[in-house]
């Protein structure tokens, strides 16, 4: 069972993403900030991390930079998400492996996570925007 780490300061979105991923059989840990995400990434060793761009204490790009600099987390596949206008153009410069614009479809989240895990043939059903 793949382990997914979610980091987002919006509790509703965090709960929604957790439910979507758990429904697909993933083991999910969810935290509300970048510092907690760093600690869990190093100690829980997830298979994929899904992190929001804007969070208190530490934003997603800063957390990604620190994860990439640490040998224990440097290769961790990371999906960065954001609803902020204009960040699409600079998302590739953050060190994330993939970018997801909010709002997104359930299938988009699942497809990106599956792709990062290497499960490109995974089939998911469509269910509204998140």
The residue among 51, 45, 55 whose CA lies nearest residue 76 is 45
Q: What digits encode the pLDDT tens for the residues 65-123?
A: 999 999 999 999 999 999 888 777 777 789 999 999 999 999 999 999 999 999 644 33
Number of domains, the chain: 1
Q: What is the 3-state secondary structure (H, E, C) of the chain?
A: CCEEEEECCCHHHHHHHHHHHHHCCCEEEEECCHHHHHHHHHHCCCCEEEEECCCCCCCHHHHHHHHHHCCCCCCCCEEEEECCCCHHHCHHHHCCCEEEECCCEHHHHHHHHHHHHCCCCCCCCCCCEC
- Decide if pLDDT at 127 tops 60: no
Residue 130 maps to a domain: no
pLDDT at 91: 76
Residue 121 maps to a domain: no
Whole-angstrom Cα distance, residue 74 to residue 62?
14
pLDDT at 126: 38
Q: Which residue has the tokens 């590739």?
A: 92
Residue 116 maps to a domain: no
pLDDT at 129: 56
Residue 35 maps to a domain: yes
Q: For residue 74, give its domain range.
A: 3-91+99-105
Q: Per-residue pLDDT averaged across 8-19, rounded? A: 96
Q: Which residue has the tokens 């790009």?
A: 61
pLDDT at 119: 62
Q: What digits encode the pLDDT tens for the residues 17-58?
A: 999 999 999 999 999 999 999 999 999 999 999 999 999 889
Global confidence as pTM? 0.88
pLDDT at 85: 82
The domain that contains 49 carries what CATH number? Answer: 3.40.50.2300
pLDDT at 123: 37
């Amino acid at each position: 069972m793949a382990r997914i780490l979610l980091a987002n300061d919006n509790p509703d979105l965090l709960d929604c993403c957790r439910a979507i991923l758990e429904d697909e059989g993933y083991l999910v840990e969810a935290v509300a900030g970048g510092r907690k995400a760093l600690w869990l990434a190093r100690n829980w060793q997830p298979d994929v991390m899904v992190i929001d761009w804007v969070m208190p204490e530490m934003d997603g790009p800063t957390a990604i930079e620190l994860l990439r600099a640490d040998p224990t987390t440097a290769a961790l596949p990371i999906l960065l998400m954001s609803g902020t206008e204009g960040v699409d153009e600079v998302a590739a410069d953050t060190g994330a492996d993939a970018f997801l614009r909010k709002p997104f479809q359930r299938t988009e989240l699942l497809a990106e996570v599956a792709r990062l895990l290497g499960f490109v043939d995974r089939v998911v059903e469509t269910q509204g925007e998140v």
